[in-house]
């Protein structure tokens, strides 16, 4: 057993995207590839000597190897302590919580989130700061710079640690605490929500289905929903995390969680349904016969959060990513709360949460969360919904209908065009960008364009500026189209088109969103020339 330094030549393209570095698993499996990126992470935070890190991942293929590599490197570079989830497992929100709870210097999370897992699928790694949140751009840029210039890495060479047993061991001079990945997180949930009220509702026959999609939330959901809240055994399906997620695509949306969708849309379905993604930070919630769009979910949660003990004193403010619908804005306005519009990516909420300016955050990409951690949190959102359902004693459909009648409804949909050739997608966006200044006043599909711009964000806390965060076309009637290229894909480019149209509470509130949005969809295709540039006339995924 010894400390070894290994010379390396830098790899190209180790540039963190929306949420860390994501590549095909086999890319990560190349000799020294992961090591180089981990070395760059360490460099970007001034080294790990004397520091404590949380380490864990969503259990996908290569998670086990990656955890051992990171431990060996941390030990070889003088880290004082590592806190690792048993089996190398931690959901993203649980990792965020452990970082905060133990006041560590940060943590490394292994996941490609909602992307499929397996030897031929995707892997990823990201660093979270001592506040529990994803590294900000200044740090990810430093990481990328470090990947370009490093020449060696150091590790402590030793046999693999047995991570299967909850225990405290040492690796060289580093202490390694192998902890229950679920317990602290579940305890935190008990402090936020009215567990007795939810338990009583389950005891009275309330039924639920939680689809863990063979990913990391299985053990969390079983412990919280079945063991602590008394939901029927078997409420959680696909509950065992598997390295390839059992072949499932662990993205909780109507397309990929189709089993759950089918069950919930049937007339004999359970009262409440939910699913989570690979690493447990995303969620989809459903009622019997009712789909809750993520944008509406944020708005409903904001309007009702005071019903949960953790938020009984009210919330400080709401933040949503720019492409998320304006539904939450209506709630903020009615409740006299500040509302912030940030670029896509949970990291942009961190400063607002740290400064106490917002309590709830949400994104159209099936992410909702609060200031309890610094990541979005799938199970948290499900529990807040359960708390609201238990206190109000109504169905999801009734709660939605009342919400829309009070605040109006933002008909909303996202259309994704996947794996298009990157240069064609770039050309389309560039052409649109070049035309932006001339679009105001033009009429499309009977609607007049009020303004068109490229979203830029100035962080109200630290003044940092993020440009080119999505092209927005705003119409006179308040409707909106947003175009953005995904920052999380691993193959070609994914074009996302976000569509939002507001109808007041007195209007027609029960339309199919695709019908309500039809003119806007046509306008979106025409304005950007989607078919001309990409050859696609219909999306691959609609959420
Ligand atoms: C990850 C981030 C989210 C973000 C999403 C956007 O899930 O954690 O905060 O909304 O990526 O992904 P995209 O593919 O649209 O860049
Ligand atoms: Zn995720």
ipTM: 0.96
- 320: tokens are 């949503």
Given ligand 1 and candidates 322, 362, 468, 488, which is best to mutate, with the most ligand atoms within 8 Å of its CB?
488
Closest residue by Cα to residue 523 from 453, 448, 460: 448
* Ligand 1 atom, smallest distance to 134 CA: 8
C-alpha 323 – ligand 1 centre gap (Å): 11
- Ligand of minimum distance to the alpha carbon of 365: 1
Alpha-carbon distance of 291 to 353, in angstroms, equals 28
C-alpha 376 – ligand 2 centre gap (Å): 8
3-state secondary structure at position 454: strand
The per-residue pLDDT for 149 is 96
CB distance 223 to 235 below 8 Å: no
Return the beta strands (E) in 227-327 as ranges. Answer: 236-237, 272-276, 283-287, 290-292, 318-321
At the fourth CATH level, the homologous superfamily of domain 409-542 is Alpha-D-phosphohexomutase, C-terminal domain (3.30.310.50)
* CATH 3.40.120.10 domain span(s) along the chain: 2-180, 185-407
* CATH 3.30.310.50 domain span(s) along the chain: 409-542
- 514: tokens are 């695709």
User: Phi, psi at residue 202, to the nearest 5°?
Assistant: -60, -40
Given ligand 1 and candidates 132, 134, 136, 345, which is best to mutate, with the most ligand atoms within 8 Å of its CB?
345
* Ligand 1 atom, smallest distance to 375 CA: 8
* Ligand 1 atom, smallest distance to 363 CA: 10
* Ligand 1 atom, smallest distance to 494 CA: 14
Which residues have CB under 6 Å of ligand 1?
18-19, 113, 321, 344-346, 363, 365, 367, 486-488, 496
Provide the pairing of β-strand 174-179 with 81-89: parallel
**2-180 has which CATH code?**
3.40.120.10
**185-407 has which CATH code?**
3.40.120.10
C-alpha 523 – ligand 2 centre gap (Å): 31
Who contacts 391 (Cβ-Cβ below 8 Å, separation ≥6)?
194, 197, 307
Per residue of the chain (543 residues), give pLDDT as tens: 799 999 999 999 999 987 799 999 999 999 999 999 999 999 999 999 999 999 999 999 999 999 999 999 999 999 999 999 999 999 999 999 999 999 999 999 999 999 999 999 999 999 999 999 999 888 999 999 999 999 999 999 999 999 999 999 999 999 999 999 999 999 999 999 999 999 999 999 999 999 999 999 999 999 999 999 999 999 999 999 999 999 999 999 998 999 999 999 998 999 999 999 999 999 999 999 999 999 999 999 999 999 999 999 999 999 999 999 999 999 999 999 999 999 998 889 999 999 999 999 999 999 999 999 999 999 999 999 999 999 999 999 999 999 999 999 999 999 999 999 999 999 999 999 999 999 999 999 989 999 999 999 999 999 989 999 999 999 998 899 999 998 777 678 999 999 999 999 998 899 999 999 999 999 999 999 999 999 999 999 899
Alpha-carbon distance of 48 to 153, in angstroms, equals 13
Alpha-carbon distance of 221 to 339, in angstroms, equals 31
Return the active site residues. 113
C-alpha 246 – ligand 1 centre gap (Å): 23
For residue 522, the 8-state DSSP code is H
The per-residue pLDDT for 24 is 96
3-state secondary structure at position 13: coil
pTM, two decimals, is 0.94
């Amino acid at each position: 057993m010894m400390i070894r330094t290994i010379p390396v030549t830098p790899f190209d393209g180790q540039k963190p995207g929306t949420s860390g570095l994501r590549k095909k698993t086999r890319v990560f499996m190349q000799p020294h590839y992961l090591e180089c990126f981990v070395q760059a992470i360490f460099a970007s935070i001034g080294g790990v000597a004397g520091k404590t890190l949380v380490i864990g991942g969503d259990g996908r293929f290569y998670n086990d190897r990656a955890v051992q590599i990171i431990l060996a490197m941390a030990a070889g570079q003088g880290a004082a302590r590592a806190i690792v989830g048993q089996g190398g497992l931690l959901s993203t929100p649980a990792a965020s919580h452990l970082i905060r709870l133990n006041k560590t210097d940060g943590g490394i999370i292994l996941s490609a989130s909602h992307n499929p897992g397996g030897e031929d699928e995707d892997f990823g790694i990201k660093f979270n700061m001592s506040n529990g949140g994803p590294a900000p751009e200044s740090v990810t840029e430093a990481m990328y710079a470090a990947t370009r210039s490093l020449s060696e890495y150091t590790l402590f060479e030793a046999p693999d640690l047995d991570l299967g047993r909850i225990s405290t061991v040492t690796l060289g001079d580093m202490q390694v605490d192998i902890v229950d990945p679920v317990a602290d997180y579940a305890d935190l949930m008990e402090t936020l929500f009215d567990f007795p009220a939810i338990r009583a509702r389950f005891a009275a026959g309330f039924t639920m289905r939680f689809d863990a999609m063979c990913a990391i939330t299985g053990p969390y959901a079983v412990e919280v929903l079945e063991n602590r809240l008394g939901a029927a055994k078997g409420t959680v399906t696909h509950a065992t995390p598997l390295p390839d997620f059992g072949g499932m695509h662990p993205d909780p949306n109507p397309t990929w969680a189709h089993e759950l969708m089918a069950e919930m849309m049937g007339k004999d379905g359970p009262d409440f349904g939910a699913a989570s993604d690979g690493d447990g930070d995303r969620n989809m919630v459903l009622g019997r016969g009712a789909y809750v769009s993520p944008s509406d979910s944020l708005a409903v949660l904001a309007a009702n959060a005071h019903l949960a003990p953790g938020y009984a004193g009210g919330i400080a403010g709401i933040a949503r990513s720019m492409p998320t619908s304006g539904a939450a804005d209506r709630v903020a306005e009615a409740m006299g709360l500040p509302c912030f519009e940030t670029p896509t990516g949970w990291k942009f909420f961190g400063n607002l949460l740290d400064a106490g300016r917002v309590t709830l955050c949400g994104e159209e990409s099936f992410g909702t969360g609060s200031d309890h951690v610094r990541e979005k949190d799938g199970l948290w959102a499900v529990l807040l919904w359960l708390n609201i359902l238990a206190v109000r004693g109504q169905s999801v459909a009734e709660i939605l209908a009342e919400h829309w009648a009070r605040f109006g409804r933002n008909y909303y949909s996202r259309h994704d065009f996947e794996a298009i050739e990157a240069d064609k997608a770039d050309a389309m966006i560039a052409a649109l960008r070049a035309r932006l200044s001339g679009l105001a006043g033009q009429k499309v599909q009977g609607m007049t364009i009020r303004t068109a711009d490229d979203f830029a964000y100035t962080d109200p806390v630290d003044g940092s500026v993020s440009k080119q965060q999505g092209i927005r076309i705003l119409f006179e009637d308040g409707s909106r189209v947003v175009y953005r290229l995904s920052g999380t894909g691993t193959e070609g480019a994914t074009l996302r088109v976000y569509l939002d149209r507001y109808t007041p509470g007195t209007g027609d509130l029960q339309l199919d969103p695709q019908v309500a949005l039809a003119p806007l969809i046509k306008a979106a295709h025409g304005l950007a020339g989607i078919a001309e540039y990409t050859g696609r006339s219909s999306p691959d995924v609609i959420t």
